[in-house]
């Protein structure tokens, strides 16, 4: 386990649970809005895993859960064993993942009590957001796996209007509805931690109420939409050529 950081107490990383969050290093995708850009590089962890376990021992009875986040936790060879250890200490286990490696996800799903699964875009636009051809297929295969597993899950999408047009977001809503996901959280882009100069400088994005209503309409009764806007100072931006060289699926 290459651990790049640790949040000792979070009430939001697994909504409804008091959790510690373990941030794993490394990611093979390159979403422009990534707010953990410093964790994307592969490399040695700043905190040895035994040290994290020793700290977690001091939190037994105080915290309910441990969430593995990143970066992309599925790329850690020791993830399943780390989850087993954490569960053995009496914690519930949560996972934040993009679902980029469905086989790795299948290996750890039995250890998970909750999964926050990213959905970046409708299938046709996936590679444009991640910079990687075939990423959409992996993500949607992972969604199928998680649904079939019976593990509680939530779909999560980060949205910036300069990266994904409103009609594409509506298309994604149709795909979410078809997948019968119980909960879809739409998070407006936040600049904190984002390494992309133009996005970072542009400030917070905001999901307009009329768009939220249209998305809920597309979902119908087939899922609940939660919209998270963090700021009221949203502004329109155009990102000149930001995606020009990205791989299209
Ligand atoms: S998949 Fe997640 S960690 Fe990787 S670049 Fe995208 S947002 Fe960042």
**DSSP letter string over 60-110?**
BTTB-EEEEESS-GGG-TTHHHHHHHHHHTT-EEEEEE----HHHHHHHGG
Domain map (residue ranges) of the chain: 3-228
Whether 36 lines ligand 1, by a CB cut-off of 6 Å, is yes
Assigned fold of 3-228? TIM Barrel (3.20.20)
State which of 5, 21, 70 you would mutate to test the pocket of ligand 1, scoring each by most atoms of that ligand within 8 A of its C-beta.
Answer: 70
pLDDT of residue 44: 72
As given in the structure block, the two tokens for residue 217 are 């309409």
Q: Ligand 1 centroid vs 174 CA: distance in angstroms?
A: 23
Whether 158 lines ligand 1, by a CB cut-off of 6 Å, is no
Q: Ligand 1 centroid vs 60 CA: distance in angstroms?
A: 30
Say how far apart CA 173 and CA 192 lie, in whole Å. Answer: 26
CA-angle at 135, arms to 26 and 139, nearest 5°: 90
Q: Ligand 1 centroid vs 58 CA: distance in angstroms?
A: 30
List, edge to edge, every strand of the sheet that includes 92-97. 3-10, 19-24, 65-69, 92-97, 114-118, 152-159, 183-188, 224-228
Q: On the CB side of 19, how many CA atoms lie within 13 Å of its CA?
A: 24
Please list the residues that pair with 228 across neighbouring strands.
187
Whether 14 lines ligand 1, by a CB cut-off of 6 Å, is no
Whether 135 lines ligand 1, by a CB cut-off of 6 Å, is no
**From first to last of its 249 residues, what are the pLDDT tens digits of the chain?**
999 999 999 999 999 999 999 999 999 999 999 988 888 888 777 789 999 999 999 999 999 999 999 999 999 999 999 999 999 999 999 999 999 999 999 999 999 999 999 999 999 999 999 999 999 999 999 999 999 999 999 999 999 999 999 999 999 999 999 998 899 999 999 988 888 888 888 889 999 999 999 999 999 988 899 999 975 433 333 333 333 233 332
pLDDT of residue 193: 83
Q: Ligand 1 centroid vs 39 CA: distance in angstroms?
A: 9
Whether 69 lines ligand 1, by a CB cut-off of 6 Å, is no
DSSP H helix total and E strand total for the chain: 8, 8
pLDDT of residue 187: 95
pLDDT of residue 83: 98
Give the helix/strand (H/E) hosting 52: helix 49-57
Whether 27 lines ligand 1, by a CB cut-off of 6 Å, is yes
């Amino acid at each position: 386990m290459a651990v790049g950081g640790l949040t000792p107490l979070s009430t939001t990383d697994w909504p409804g649970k008091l959790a510690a969050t373990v941030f794993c290093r490394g990611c093979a995708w390159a979403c422009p809005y990534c707010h953990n850009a410093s964790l994307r590089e592969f490399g040695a962890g700043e905190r040895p895993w035994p040290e994290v376990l020793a700290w977690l021992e001091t939190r037994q009875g105080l915290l309910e859960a441990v969430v593995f986040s990143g970066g992309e936790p599925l790329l850690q060879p020791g993830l399943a064993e780390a989850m087993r250890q954490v569960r053995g200490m009496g914690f519930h286990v949560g996972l934040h993942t993009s679902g980029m490696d469905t086989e790795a996800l299948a290996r750890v799903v039995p250890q998970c009590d909750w999964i926050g699964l990213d959905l970046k875009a409708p299938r046709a636009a996936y590679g444009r957001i991640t910079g990687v051809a075939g990423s959409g297929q992996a993500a949607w295969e992972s969604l199928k796996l998680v649904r079939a597993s019976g593990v509680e899950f939530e779909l999560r999408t980060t949205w910036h209007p300069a990266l994904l047009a409103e009609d594409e977001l509506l298309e994604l809503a149709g795909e979410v509805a078809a997948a019968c996901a119980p909960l879809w959280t739409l998070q407006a882009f936040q600049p904190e931690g984002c390494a992309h100069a133009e996005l970072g400088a542009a400030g917070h994005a905001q999901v307009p109420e009329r768009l939220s209503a249209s998305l809920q309409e597309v979902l119908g009764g087939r899922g609940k939409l939660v919209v998270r806007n963090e700021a009221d100072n949203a502004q329109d931006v155009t990102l000149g050529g930001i995606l020009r060289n990205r791989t299209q699926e």
